[in-house]
Amino acid sequence: MTAELRALNAKFIHNFITNDVPSHDAILHKDFICITSAGARVSRADYLKAWATGFDAERIPYFDYRDELIHVFGSTALLRSTNKSTRMVDGVETTGMTMYTDIYIREEGAWKCIQAQITPVAPANYPSDKTIVKKYLKGKAQR
């Protein structure tokens, strides 16, 4: 089960990098909700609408996910990981990290993400580069 969830996490990230709405839609539960780092609740429909243009390699020249932790509790799984990104905003480069917790439930033999929650990470808590699972430069996978 952990390998299946690890593959779903890789797909989740790949869908973001490629703005792949149909593939992402397929892994979301019908009652999915996202809770942003600002505490806003975003509906499934609004989330998928934003997904179509959420990644731009010129605006986000570096992106990785790291420190992946998966715990399964029967038909519920917590998938936690951290993203590091370098973003260009008004010509200023900013690097930061956010941790996400995706909650998956298993229904009818398939894992579906029912909630994604994003939390900013303070520099003192940044996971090391040794925990990088995959990184992207200008939208291209590096490992």
What ranges in the chain are assigned the alpha helix state H? 2-18, 21-27, 44-51
Prediction pTM value:
0.92
Q: Are strands 110-121 and 28-35 parallel, antiparallel or unpaired?
A: parallel
Span 93-105, pLDDT tens digits: 999 999 999 999 9
- Are 41 and 117 a contacting pair, CB within 8 Å? no
- Are 65 and 13 a contacting pair, CB within 8 Å? yes
CATH code at position 53:
3.10.450.50
Asked if pLDDT for residue 89 goes beyond 90, the answer is no
pLDDT value of position 143: 64
For the chain, report the end-to-end CA distance as a whole number of angstroms: 23
Span 103-122, pLDDT tens digits: 999 999 999 999 999 999 99
Structural domain including 92 reads: 2-141
Domains contained in the chain, number: 1
